[in-house]
Amino acid sequence: MSTNFSQKLTKLYKDHDQYIFGLSKEAIIVGISLVIVSTVVQKILNIRNTMLLMFLSGFVVHIVYDLLGLNKYYCENCLGNC
């Protein structure tokens, strides 16, 4: 009985680590995307308001990821495996 509990606990920690690793990769990719997009948006539109720049950059990144199917892919293939 104790071995079964130990195995379940080990699997739980392993699954949790995989989830955290996958989530961290996604966060890094989104963060880098936001830096790139905000730089481009700021140069094109010459936006000085930081909040507006953050909003527009996040909006653009989200729409582009959705149009490319990356949000759906992440939900189906990355989150589902963690």
Q: In the chain, what are the domain boundaries?
A: 2-79
Is it the case that residue 76 has pLDDT exceeding 60?
A: yes
- Alpha-carbon distances, residue 18 vs 11, 27, 32, 70 (angstroms): 10, 14, 21, 20
What would the mean pLDDT of 61-73 be, rounded to a whole number?
91
The model's pTM is 0.71
Distance (Å, whole) CA 21 – CA 31: 15
pLDDT band (50, 70, 90) for residue 81: low
Query: What pLDDT is attached to residue 80?
Result: 56
User: Quick check: 1 pLDDT over 70?
Assistant: no
pLDDT in tens, 12-61: 667 777 778 878 888 899 999 999 999 999 999 999 999 999 999 999 99
Count CB neighbours of 61 within 10 A: 19
